[in-house]
Amino acid sequence: MHRTLFLALALAPAAHAATPEPKAGVSFDHNDWTLACDNTRTCRAAGYSPEASANLLSLMLERAGGPGTKVVARLRNGEGDEPSPAGALRLRLNGKDLGPVRDTGEGEKVLLQQSQTDALVAALPRQARIEIIDGKGKAWPISDSGATAVLLKMDEAQGRLGTPGALVRRGDKAEASVPAALPVPVIVHGKLVAPRGTDAALAKVPGLRKALIASLPKADECGRLSDGEQDEIEIQRLDGQHVLASTSCFMGAYNFSSGYWVVQDKAPYKARFVTSDAEDFDRDDATLRGRFRGRGIGDCFSGHDWVWDGQDFVKSSRFTTGQCRGVAGGHWTLPTVVSTVK
């Protein structure tokens, strides 16, 4: 009997291992500059034109983690209702012409010349009068206000403080002491099973709603549910024993969000709260998504994704598009969580 049991266990399919949740990186804003460092230790710092000037330029400095890595820079000339630089563009720093520059484009493949980037990095912690000169000779400024604080925070997040490669607070600490870049985590989709004809009826069971409320980490995590609103509960089949339950949590002028729970399909349901920062579930790629406007005009967004890995929903992406500066959709994608989903 023991031998039979041993063989049965040995031949059984291996359980799907839970995917570790990626740890979000650092985000920081100061005046006209913003920073986002992701879970691989890559950091991106974006500076903007002074708000009063109402032009649509932004400069982004990006640096991977690890010792000896270079800073790369990109320029974006955004589209909006305000005038923006036109024609061939040139970079001027503290009155010195540093040569032609181009908009990075949608693919963000166009870089500033390394000599231009190095000059900017050297000047920004002190004083940097950054101007983009357009085809008509007009100067369009990019602010340096906040750059020192943001670049110092970047050094701290990447473990560079006191090393020769620090951007702000340099020292003689060995460059080799800088922590290595971390690998991009890999998340494997869990396979979803087909819906069952009985799934929809589960949404009407009073005990399910009570289980969802009981699992909330705090009452205001899903305000409409906690306040007794009787919004419809939607059910999506995940596997043989679990469903994804969702219901409305918040409704505003230009954003809404729902709460999502992994729930056993039989009493007592044992609901596990996932998030109230999502808007929809895509069965095609087993992904929860949330996209939220920072302002009604849609010039800045934040986003989150979670992927079903067969046991739970794992955070796969978190980002913003930077500060709200009048550019439709925002200037950049500034992630604090990245992953490869297979």
- At 40-59, the pLDDT tens digits run 999 999 999 997 767 889 99
> Which CATH code is given to the segment(s) 27-177?
2.60.40
> Which of 5-19, 214-228, 246-260 shows the lowest per-residue confidence on average (mean pLDDT)?
5-19
Q: Which segments of the chain are extended strands (E)?
A: 27-30, 33-37, 43-48, 57-63, 71-77, 89-93, 96-101, 130-133, 139-142, 186-187, 234-237, 242-251, 256-264, 272-278, 280-282, 287-293, 301-308, 313-320, 334-337, 340-341
Give the tens place of pLDDT for each residue, 75-133: 998 877 777 888 899 999 999 999 999 999 877 889 999 999 999 999 999 989 999 99
Under the banding of pLDDT at 50, 70 and 90, the label for residue 230 is very high
Q: Whole-model pTM?
A: 0.90
Mean pLDDT across the stretch 136-140?
A: 94
Q: 3: part of which helix (H) or strand (E)?
A: helix 2-11
Contact partners, residue 194, CB within 8 Å, separation at least 6: 237
Contact partners, residue 288, CB within 8 Å, separation at least 6: 260, 274, 275, 278, 280, 281, 282, 304, 305, 306, 307, 313
**Which residue is listed with tokens 């396979």?**
191
Whole-number pLDDT of residue 280: 95
Q: Which residues pair with 59 in a beta bridge?
A: 47, 75
Higher pLDDT, 78 or 7: 78
% of the chain beyond a pLDDT of 90: 84
Query: Does a cis peptide bond (omega within 30 degrees of 0) precede residue 268?
Result: yes
Q: Which residues pair with 97 in a beta bridge?
A: 92
Exposure b/e, 4-35, CB count within 10 A at least 16 = b: eeeeeeeeeeeeeeebebbeebbbbbebbbbb
Whole-number pLDDT of residue 18: 66
The residue ranges of every structural domain in the chain are 27-177, 186-341
